[in-house]
Amino acid sequence: MIICFVIMLNNKNKFLALSIFLSFLLFISIPIKIAFANLEVTEIMYSFTGSDTLNSKSREWIEIYNPTPNSIGVSAWSVCDNTSCETLPNVSISPNSFLILSGAEESELRSVWSIPPEIIFVSASGGTIGNGLNNGGDALSLHNLSLIVDQMSYGTNTSGLNPSIPTISTGHSYERDPKGKDTDTASDFVDRNPPTPGS
């Protein structure tokens, strides 16, 4: 519709209309970037050595990082896999710190990994992140209200990244390297062994 409108104008008015349109795009894009492009998923552990499930809960986990100099409350944030979403509780992530989301109990994961004590831990409802992080391929996305702030996919799932992040060995994780790198491609993540939850 905008293109048809521009074609009907003379050259001087075309330039004016395009200038206004581009200014509008700049106006709406800058506040969104500043307001929402902050938290990011920095690590995904989808395949536990042994079994993902213990006591009917999945030990899969993801790490969410706050790269900003301010604490960020996450009660309006959610994490989705390929099927459903987990709303995060009313907690805050400190500046340059992390939140770990897992299906497992906090004590269970802390007995396996050396997670720094100050790191916030959230247990996903129902004992899984979404319907569980499928070992062959799955998707993850981080939302602030309805806005997708970060998304990725691995293995056979190309809905978040295409090409997706290649699958890795059991017991390894995907880690964003360096933290803050966000080119929206699979190359943002490396194969990490051992995983580093909370650091």
The binding site for Ca ion (CB under 5 A) comprises 43, 46-47, 52, 63, 81-82, 130-131, 133-135, 138, 196
* Residue whose pair of structure tokens reads 């997708």 in the numeric block: 148
Q: Cβ neighbours of residue 119 under 8 Å, at least 6 residues apart? A: 97, 98, 99, 100, 197, 198
Smallest gap from residue 21 Cβ to Ca ion (A): 40
**Beta carbon nearer to Ca ion, 61 or 77:** 61
Contact 169, 192 (CB under 8 A): no
Smallest gap from residue 7 Cβ to Ca ion (A): 47
Contact 152, 165 (CB under 8 A): yes
**Beta carbon nearer to Ca ion, 88 or 100:** 100
Smallest gap from residue 134 Cβ to Ca ion (A): 5
Smallest gap from residue 48 Cβ to Ca ion (A): 7
Smallest gap from residue 32 Cβ to Ca ion (A): 27
Which residues lie across from 72 on neighbouring strands? 93
**Beta carbon nearer to Ca ion, 7 or 148:** 148
- β pairing state of 57-58 and 61-66: unpaired
Which residues lie across from 190 on neighbouring strands? 175
**Beta carbon nearer to Ca ion, 138 or 188:** 138
Helix (H, G, I), strand (E, B) or coil at 132: coil
Smallest gap from residue 22 Cβ to Ca ion (A): 40
**Beta carbon nearer to Ca ion, 29 or 49:** 49
- β pairing state of 97-102 and 120-123: parallel
**Beta carbon nearer to Ca ion, 3 or 143:** 143
